[in-house]
Structure 1
Amino acid sequence: MADRDRSDIALLIIDMVNALDFDGGETLLPTALEAATHIAALKRRATDAGVPVIYANDNYGQWRSDFHRVVALCGGSGSRGAPLVEQVRPEATDYFVLKPSNSAFHQTPLERLLDELGVRRLILTGIATDSCVVATAMDANVRDLKLFVPRDCVAAETAERNDAALEVMRASLGGDTRIGARITADDFRGTQ
């Protein structure tokens, strides 16, 4: 890990490398694509500011797989989620963790990675807001991490489920839910 990667803030992209081949995947696709556009813009700004980017992705029960194989599978022709992968394709400088269940912390090395990077603030983005994003937010809160959950950088199958999960993260977990474009260079630096 390069010293330049040390930062007190990181961008976490949850499950956006996704085939969307589950019941409800077709319903989720339009809002996930809209969120992907905003995530890609936020990722460019974060990367330019030297903020580490971490992908947390389901392993889809593929215990012999790795992240690069998951990207190839989900981004391949015939995958409903290929347009998502195209918008937020990981770069060689990005970090990743594969997760076996909802939370990006549960049985993954994410906590250790964040400690080594010096992260105390976390920007959560991805799908689904009412499942993997909120589960990750709860686990981050338990670890005393300050949360940003840009409301235009997350998606769920319905607007009601999305809004309810965002309200839990805002009201109960203290998450900052402003839109991604309003996360400023000062936020990236930790000066407000």
Structure 2
Amino acid sequence: MAKAEIKEPAAGKTALILIDMVNHLDFEGASDMEAAAKKAAERILLLRDEADRLGVPTVYVNDNFGQWHSERSKLVAHATGEGRPGREMVRRIAPRDNDFFVIKPQFSGFYATNLPVLLPKLGASRLVLTGIAADICVLFTAADAHMREYELWVPRDAVAGESERRTKWALEIMLNSMNAETRGTDEFSLKEWVGMA
């Protein structure tokens, strides 16, 4: 069985980040996000396939959902449990053995995690941020990445929030305050992003 190893520097100095996509969608406000999250997951899967072809590493950065003694397989099992609204989405988008997986205790993927150590090891200075929720965890991760001078692409069709209005608001902040690229995957490709490095 293959394990996540750093074999060579990230193509285009880029890492694809999936934020909180191992998600049971069983919390207050999740029902408002469910359809958008599942739609974003389809775009993320296409990005992940393209990342594989290009040599861009995939890094899952995921909330522990209060499972403080947990690790990747337990979080996946928790999210795919019987009756969980997100179970089918998680089954499709679950991390593979060669993907990196970082558990976060708070909103930002950088706060109290090993992400700040992993990204330089991967040779990544450019991030593609995807996932949920656009106006909380994606936004906080983007802010911390911006302060660390990472270049950002946050594809508008690969993130989701509780409402379209809140998602649009978050994307505007990332565009205007963090100089993030926010074009969707139908307008801009990972290949183009990698080629800009």
TM-score when normalising by structure 2:
0.93
- What does residue 8 of structure 2 align with? 4
User: Deviation of residue 111 (structure 1)?
Assistant: 0.7
Task: Name stretches of at least 5 consecutive residues in structure 1 with no aligned partner.
Answer: none
| 1:110 correspondence with 2:141 | no
User: Deviation of residue 68 (structure 1)?
Assistant: 1.2
- Structure 1 segment 3-152 matched on structure 2, within 5 A: 3-4=7-8, 6-7=10-11, 8-152=13-157
1:172 maps to a residue whose letter is: S
2:119 maps to a residue whose letter is: L
Q: Which moved more, 1:93-102 or 1:77-86?
A: 77-86
Structure 1 counterpart SS, 2:178:
coil
Separation in 1 of the partners of 2:190 and 2:85?
33
- What does residue 187 of structure 1 align with? 193
Matched pairs, number = 191
Query: What do you get for the CA RMSD once the two structures are aligned?
Result: 1.3
Q: Which moved more, 1:92-101 or 1:179-188?
A: 179-188
User: Deviation of residue 129 (structure 1)?
Assistant: 0.2
Identity %, equivalent residues: 41
Structure 2 counterpart SS, 1:4:
coil
Separation in 2 of the partners of 1:15 and 1:9?
19
User: Deviation of residue 81 (structure 1)?
Assistant: 1.0
User: Deviation of residue 189 (structure 1)?
Assistant: 4.0
